[in-house]
Amino acid sequence: MKNRHLACPMAVATALALAGCGMLPGGGQTKTVNIWLMRDSASEDFLTRFTEAYEEENDGVELEITIQDWTGIGKKVTEAIEGSGGPDVIEVGNTQVAQYADTDKLYDLTLESVRDLGSEDWLPGLAEPGSIGGSQYGIPWYAANRIVIYNKDLFQDAGIDKPPVTQAEWLADTEKLNRDGAQGIYLAGQDWYTLSGFIWDEGGELAVDKGGEWTGALGSPAALRGMDFYKKLQSLGTGPKNADEQNPPQADVFAKGDVAQIIATPSAVAPILKANPALKDKLGYFAIPGKKADRPCAVFTGGSDLIIPENAPQRGAALDVVKALAGEKWQTELARAMGYVPNKKGLASVVSGQEATAVMAAAAARGRATPNSPQWANVEADNPIKPYMTAVLQGEDPKEAAEKASAAISDTLAE
């Protein structure tokens, strides 16, 4: 392993078994590729193994990895790409690519996407947010999406021997699960990512682009059908109508053992088992059902893309690093190490031995992302979809509430 260093501000926190902060030793031919990655996106072991292998295979290249926190990252990345000194590679949230591309300071990776990275097989929920105006600026790195986590014992007690595969079956089974003090499903009233999937599954959108002008679209018949299904499902549990899935954390609620189902990413399993280890062999997983048995519901795909700023000092070397991180070998390693969905549909089988991740990977084929507007982050900052959901769940007229929320979305996207 070559002598290299992490950027000093984050070295202690990440402890990637790399050399301490300081200047690289001599040898003017060495290229140092400065990489910004987000905290907890990849484990210490993965980053160490990747760095060792990459430097061994690429003589004269050293990787400097800086771990960043999500809080305040938007301003930090914008300042970096508009500056003059790098970094060379930056991990960004898949739905953030548009706001950075809007600066005209990102390198166009369209050629590499098609020629070297097999973009035709990328998950749409990662690929689409990285494509702006026909050019690919974000290279998909990893994905995660929601599935249904269920309590096998409660299903068995209710006489349900297999998970539902259609939304009609799901509603019927969830109603059966409301028995003997058990709750059929815990679904918070403001889980707007889950609602988004129901809206997309009906053919609706959160917002639409009409000739470069984005407008909210929650009032369309399709979007209203998605909200109506959400209301039916949410009514079969006691989740709060005026809070999201983090208030209280739904994993903690499920861990008590009297909730049959939650909708969450597999990352919820760890806190569930930490709170109640007795559930270890009682957890099951299935894709969120769609309207038809052979087609699971559309889902929001979260995750990260890799971007290269125009000002990257080591652009050529940075391209090679991105190709490695997004390529089959290290996609497989990352997915298995972290429980992620790989960036390609064709790689879903690499996590077949991990039950929850395998279900998530299969469902990811129908993944979507939020509207690809540079202003969407501002919508989420003061999200009008959440109070809209609460209003409908509390009995207000869905059409009127949807039009009010859509107007707020339109105003923000027009800024």
Domain boundaries, the chain: 8-144+301-368, 147-300+372-413
8-144+301-368: CATH topology: D-Maltodextrin-Binding Protein; domain 2 (3.40.190)
Question: In this model, does residue 26 exceed pLDDT 80?
Answer: no
Report pLDDT for 28: 55
Interatomic CA distance for residues 248 and 369, integer angstroms: 25
Q: Tell me the pLDDT of the chain averaged across its residues.
A: 91
Angle at 85 between CA 81 and CA 90, to 5 degrees: 45
Average of pLDDT values for 182-203? 98
CATH topology agreement for domains 8-144+301-368 and 147-300+372-413: yes
Interatomic CA distance for residues 190 and 343, integer angstroms: 28
Confidence of residue 11 (pLDDT cuts 50, 70, 90): very low
Average of pLDDT values for 46-64? 97
- Cβ-proximal residues to 327 (8 Å cutoff; 6+ apart), any chain: 117
Report pLDDT for 84: 83
Average of pLDDT values for 152-179? 97
pTM: 0.85
Burial class (CB in 10 A: 0-12, 13-18, 19+), 84: exposed
Question: In this model, does residue 211 exceed pLDDT 60?
Answer: yes
Judged by phi (left if over 0) then psi (alpha if -120 to 50, else beta), residue 269 lies in alpha
Interatomic CA distance for residues 207 and 200, integer angstroms: 11
| Interval 314-358: pLDDT, tens | 999 999 999 999 999 999 999 999 989 999 999 999 998 899 999
Q: Which of 328, 309, 329 is nearest to 319 (CA)?
A: 309
Instruction: For residue 401, count other CB atoms closer than 10 A to its CB.
Output: 23
Question: In this model, does residue 5 exceed pLDDT 50?
Answer: no
Query: Do 129 and 98 touch, CB atoms closer than 8 A?
Result: yes
Query: Do 96 and 322 touch, CB atoms closer than 8 A?
Result: no
Q: Which CATH architecture has domain 147-300+372-413?
A: 3-Layer(aba) Sandwich (3.40)
Confidence of residue 13 (pLDDT cuts 50, 70, 90): very low
Bridge pairing between strands 367-368 and 299-307? parallel
Window from 7-21, 97-111, 223-237, 238-252 with minimum mean pLDDT: 7-21
211 or 173, higher pLDDT: 173
Interatomic CA distance for residues 406 and 384, integer angstroms: 8
Question: In this model, does residue 272 exceed pLDDT 50?
Answer: yes
Paired with 89 in beta bridges are: 35
Bridge pairing between strands 31-38 and 61-68? parallel
Interatomic CA distance for residues 151 and 254, integer angstroms: 9
Instruction: For residue 238, count other CB atoms closer than 10 A to its CB.
Output: 15
Question: In this model, does residue 397 exceed pLDDT 90?
Answer: yes
Query: Do 27 and 36 touch, CB atoms closer than 8 A?
Result: no
Confidence of residue 10 (pLDDT cuts 50, 70, 90): very low
Helix then strand then coil, in percent of the chain rounded to 5, is 45, 20, 35
For the chain, percent of residues with pLDDT exceeding 90: 84
Question: In this model, does residue 86 exceed pLDDT 50?
Answer: yes
